[in-house]
Amino acid sequence: MACFLVLTAEAIVTTVAEKVIEKKEKTSLEAEIYKSEGKEISDVKIPLSKKLKWLNNMAWGGCALLAFEHVWHGEVVPWFPFLTAASNAEDAAEMLHEMGTVGVVMAALVTTVWLGMCAVASYVKKRAVEKDDAKAEV
């Protein structure tokens, strides 16, 4: 009915967070230290803003495609109140229940998969940096 709206709300928050963090990363003390060593933060670790971009791509992409599916099934319409279920109280209650169950699980699963991706990527990056450092020492 409108389950994709939960992840859309999450995507709005994480998109704003990505922009703010990206700005902060560029001017942070850590970036300055790496710059003085002739390095970028991305040479040493995967920046959080980049990781958030992966989540945003998954969330916005998924929401766009699911929104299309809801249009296909006549659950989302281009006129007010946009959600057909919102036109009467009984359907609205069912819609809110679906958002609270299916929608929340969708958001939780996408976020969990993203956390897994971040953990694997950080591990791979850390090992690559350690190998490079070991080579440099030899």
Question: What are the residues binding another protein (CB under 8 A)?
Answer: 3-4, 7, 54, 57-66, 68-69, 72, 101-102, 105-106, 109-110, 113
Residue 63 CB, nearest distance to another protein (Å)? Answer: 8
Q: Judged by CB, which is closer to another protein: 34, or 60?
A: 60
Q: Which residues contact 58 (CB under 8 A, 6 or more apart)?
A: 110, 113, 114
Q: Closest CB to another protein among 41 and 106?
A: 106
| Min separation Cβ 32 and another protein, Å | 26
- Conformation bin of residue 41: beta by default, left when phi > 0, alpha when psi is -120 to 50: alpha
Cβ-based nearer residue to another protein, 58 or 86: 58
CA–CA gap between residue 131 and residue 98 (Å, rounded): 49
Of the two residues 3 and 76, which places its CB atom closer to another protein in the complex?
A: 3
Task: State in angstroms the smallest separation of the CB of 79 from another protein.
Answer: 21
Number of neighbouring beta carbons within 10 Å of residue 102: 15
HSE-up of 83 (CA within 13 Å, CB side)? 17
Alpha-carbon dihedral of residues 127, 36, 16, 72, nearest 10 degrees? -50
